[in-house]
Chains A and B, each alone.
Chain A
Amino acid sequence: MTAILTNLFDGVAYGMLLFVLACGLAVTLGLMNFVNLAHGAFAMAGGYVCMVLVNRMGWPFFAALPLAFVSAAAIGIALERTLYRHLYTRSHLDQVLFTIGLTFMSVAAVDYIQGSSRVFINLPAALQGQFDVFGIGIGRYRLMIIVICGLLTIGLQMVLAKTRFGSRLRAAVDDPRAASGLGINVPQVFAFTFAFSCGLAGLGGALSAEILGLDPYFPLKFMIYFLIVVTVGGSSSITGPFLASLLLGIGDVAGKYYVPKMGPFVIYTMMIVILIWRPNGLFGRALSPSR
């Protein structure tokens, strides 16, 4: 019984982490209708920035986390202004090709700068080890992830639903022409959203170094996970991807624990079955038709 609960806890932490990594993608893909396969590259950038700050420059872990966010967001906005914005109106195929190209470049570049081996971030002692609550093993680091990601989720939902920026974003997505007619600076809103989603990925990357492992192939290895979260969750709201992440996290951890030989098999089958059953995702409205 306690093993099940421990697994459940790990699965929830894993799912929360996936959500932070992938929710930016849900926004760019779902709201802005841009297929960004290079999303993992921003996560990797955040992870490596955090690693360099903590391991080489001796920053405290919690001070490095915001910087991982900021640096990934900065890279994101630089790329958005120079490259991505030309591709918003292009076909999905062009977007896929472009972002695969970026991913390849990021993989090779990080490999060149930091070497191809897996890197670890030195964690403060307070985050290591685990403690027992009623016999359930709770890892401190995973608990922290759940707390941070939970807060982020609530914050995101509030921003999207309650603030002026959230309604501008939704308006800009629903009908860019009408929105700009109403005086909303659509490119600015998109740029800001893109930067924010990259920042979230960067933060996720920094947090995930301990659990998912950080190496130059991170963007390729976890691309499918991000895409699963978005497609299964649907991309019309934050709740869909959130539930999908939890499902994926719990499913993956349980799969690896109970049927270790079938590991990734469980996830892919789950995804394909769900996509056949509900092509627009479990919790999604119909996606806008492809251009």
Chain B
Amino acid sequence: MNAASDVGNHAQRQARWHYGEVAFWLIVLACGFLFPTRYLIMTDILRLALFAMSLDLILGYAGIVSLGHAAFFGVGAYAAGLLALHGIINEPVLALLAAGLAAMVLGFATSFLVIRGVDLTRLMVTLGIALLLEALAERFSNITGGTDGLQGIEMQPIFGQIPFDMFGKAGFFYSLAVLFLLFLLARRVVHSPFGLSLRAIKNNPLRAAAIGIPVNRRLIAIYTLAAFYAGIAGALFTQTTAIASLDVFAFERSADLMLVLVIGGTGYLYGGLIGAVVFRMLQELFSTITPQYWQFWIGLVLVVIVLVGRQRLHRWVLYVPNLIIKQVAGRKAVVAVPESDV
């Protein structure tokens, strides 16, 4: 067996659906039926999961550090809000796509800035772009509603059939469907040769370039795709909550997103989903203990995670599940330990 087919085999084995994954999605779907009183927070988690998956695409797979991912979230949110408010595109799914595309255009335009320079410059440029957009949204308050945000958004029924209800049931299943579809797409992308080349770039851009991977073009492509995902997440936010305010661009949003991904782990797509659940739970817990100062505990979690080491933490968390899987199935764990970080 030559090296090429070896790599192909390995990649194919990685790409196969595991039982664990199927179980994961079934559990998520089951949650929709088991907790009918908690639709709002569950929708919130799904949105955050999609947003985190978007960051995972660039951070976990391409190694681009971003402190301003909220920029795309915000553009998606405002685009969806404006489309609905002015009745330009009434159908939510189409509006969702349009909002995603708007963010995608911005992502493509800014990707040229981001691929330049080292980590530090990237941090700065991404942060700068998010702040710039926030300043712009504030400046053009006649369009965006300024600090009050867009108000009076009324969402039309999905496909003209399913109306959004006040309990958020439709919103939840709508978000879940969007998340699942986009997850499938992301899964396909990261297991494709394109996705493999991204990992090569992440591990060593110089070597990747030496074996003939067009580094910059790949980075632009994945950054644009991630912007699309973030835009969709933002649009979902507006569509399911019917508001869009300036805080969609806030730095805290980007920072929280980092935390979500750090909790869940990067580079295996489920990190964002698991992280989103854990993060919201933590947030709920902290705000019941100290309503005003939950940020302190969030910060503490970040500090502890970094000090303990993300790798070690994930090994600990997966220790018990892996033990069970080993006992039951008599083979190595299916839940992959996330790849090494940037």
The reply to whether A97 and B305 form a contact with Cβ atoms under 8 Å apart is: yes
| Given A92-B65, A264-B131, also A104-B302 (CB < 8 A) | yes
The reply to whether A279 and B117 form a contact with Cβ atoms under 8 Å apart is: yes
Which residue of B113, B123, B300 contacts A276 across the interface (Cβ within 8 Å)? B113
The reply to whether B296 and A105 form a contact with Cβ atoms under 8 Å apart is: yes
Chain B residues closer than 8 Å to A92, beta-carbon distance: 65, 119-120, 123, 342
The reply to whether A280 and B135 form a contact with Cβ atoms under 8 Å apart is: no
Q: Mark B247-274, 1 if CB is under 8 A from A, else 0.
A: 0000110010011001000000000000
For the A-B complex, the count of residue pairs with Cβ-Cβ distances under 8 Å equals: 133
Question: In residues 263-283 of chain A, which contact B (Cβ within 8 Å)?
Answer: 263-265, 268-269, 271-272, 275-276, 279-280
A211 located at the interface, meaning its Cβ lies under 8 Å from any Cβ of chain B in the complex: no
Chain A residues closer than 8 Å to B294, beta-carbon distance: 108
The reply to whether A105 and B128 form a contact with Cβ atoms under 8 Å apart is: no
CB distance from A265 to the nearest CB of B (A): 5
CB distance from B194 to the nearest CB of A (A): 23
How far apart sit A83 and B308, CA to CA, in the bound complex (Å)? 11
A101 located at the interface, meaning its Cβ lies under 8 Å from any Cβ of chain B in the complex: yes
Chain A residues closer than 8 Å to B125, beta-carbon distance: 272, 275
How far apart sit A208 and B58, CA to CA, in the bound complex (Å)? 38
| Given A94-B306, A98-B306, also A108-B120 (CB < 8 A) | no
Q: Mark B114-127, 1 if CB is under 8 A from A, else 0.
A: 00111111011101
The reply to whether A108 and B299 form a contact with Cβ atoms under 8 Å apart is: yes
Chain B residues closer than 8 Å to A220, beta-carbon distance: 251-252
The reply to whether A96 and B65 form a contact with Cβ atoms under 8 Å apart is: yes
Chain A residues closer than 8 Å to B222, beta-carbon distance: none
A107 located at the interface, meaning its Cβ lies under 8 Å from any Cβ of chain B in the complex: yes
Chain B residues closer than 8 Å to A287, beta-carbon distance: 118, 120
B334 located at the interface, meaning its Cβ lies under 8 Å from any Cβ of chain A in the complex: no
The reply to whether A101 and B139 form a contact with Cβ atoms under 8 Å apart is: no
B190 located at the interface, meaning its Cβ lies under 8 Å from any Cβ of chain A in the complex: no
Chain B residues closer than 8 Å to A29, beta-carbon distance: 120
| Given A97-B302, A290-B119, also A91-B341 (CB < 8 A) | yes
The reply to whether B292 and A111 form a contact with Cβ atoms under 8 Å apart is: yes
The reply to whether B296 and A35 form a contact with Cβ atoms under 8 Å apart is: no
B129 located at the interface, meaning its Cβ lies under 8 Å from any Cβ of chain A in the complex: yes
Which residue of B67, B121, B342 contacts A91 across the interface (Cβ within 8 Å)? B342
Question: In residues 63-87 of chain A, which contact B (Cβ within 8 Å)?
Answer: 83, 86-87
Report the nearest A residue to B127, measured CB to CB. A224
The reply to whether A101 and B132 form a contact with Cβ atoms under 8 Å apart is: no
How far apart sit A192 and B75, CA to CA, in the bound complex (Å)? 44
Chain A residues closer than 8 Å to B342, beta-carbon distance: 91-93
Chain B residues closer than 8 Å to A263, beta-carbon distance: 135
CB distance from B113 to the nearest CB of A (A): 6
How far apart sit A91 and B303, CA to CA, in the bound complex (Å)? 14
Most B-side CB within 10 Å, residue of A104, A107, A224, A290: A104
Chain A residues closer than 8 Å to B118, beta-carbon distance: 279, 287, 289-290
Report the nearest A residue to B140, measured CB to CB. A261
Chain A residues closer than 8 Å to B131, beta-carbon distance: 224, 264, 268
A147 located at the interface, meaning its Cβ lies under 8 Å from any Cβ of chain B in the complex: no
The reply to whether B259 and A97 form a contact with Cβ atoms under 8 Å apart is: yes
The reply to whether A112 and B303 form a contact with Cβ atoms under 8 Å apart is: no
The reply to whether B113 and A275 form a contact with Cβ atoms under 8 Å apart is: yes
Determine chain B's interface SS by DSSP, over half rule.
Answer: helix
The reply to whether B117 and A103 form a contact with Cβ atoms under 8 Å apart is: no
CB distance from B126 to the nearest CB of A (A): 10
Chain A residues closer than 8 Å to B281, beta-carbon distance: none
Most A-side CB within 10 Å, residue of B128, B132, B251: B128
CB distance from A233 to the nearest CB of B (A): 12
Chain A residues closer than 8 Å to B298, beta-carbon distance: 101, 104
How far apart sit A132 and B121, CA to CA, in the bound complex (Å)? 42
The reply to whether A231 and B299 form a contact with Cβ atoms under 8 Å apart is: no
Chain B residues closer than 8 Å to A269, beta-carbon distance: 132
Which residue of A83, A108, A272, A290 contacts B295 across the interface (Cβ within 8 Å)? A108
How far apart sit A1 and B116, CA to CA, in the bound complex (Å)? 41
CB distance from A289 to the nearest CB of B (A): 6
B23 located at the interface, meaning its Cβ lies under 8 Å from any Cβ of chain A in the complex: no
Chain A residues closer than 8 Å to B128, beta-carbon distance: 224, 228, 268, 271-272, 275
How far apart sit A224 and B129, CA to CA, in the bound complex (Å)? 11
The reply to whether B65 and A93 form a contact with Cβ atoms under 8 Å apart is: yes
CB distance from A166 to the nearest CB of B (A): 24
Chain B residues closer than 8 Å to A290, beta-carbon distance: 118-120
Which residue of A100, A271, A279, A280 contacts B255 across the interface (Cβ within 8 Å)? A100
How far apart sit A231 and B294, CA to CA, in the bound complex (Å)? 32
Which residue of B120, B252, B300 contacts A35 across the interface (Cβ within 8 Å)? B120
Chain A residues closer than 8 Å to B123, beta-carbon distance: 35, 92, 96, 227
How far apart sit A57 and B117, CA to CA, in the bound complex (Å)? 49
Chain B residues closer than 8 Å to A107, beta-carbon distance: 295-296, 299
The reply to whether B67 and A96 form a contact with Cβ atoms under 8 Å apart is: yes
Chain A residues closer than 8 Å to B7, beta-carbon distance: none
Binding site for B on A (CB under 8 A): 29, 35, 83, 86-87, 90-94, 96-98, 100-109, 111-112, 220, 223-224, 227-228, 231, 261-265, 268-269, 271-272, 275-276, 279-280, 287, 289-290
- Could you write out 20 A-B pairs with CB less than 8 Å apart? A35-B123, A83-B303, A86-B307, A92-B65, A92-B120, A94-B310, A96-B258, A100-B299, A101-B300, A105-B296, A108-B296, A112-B296, A224-B131, A227-B123, A261-B139, A262-B139, A264-B135, A268-B128, A280-B121, A287-B120
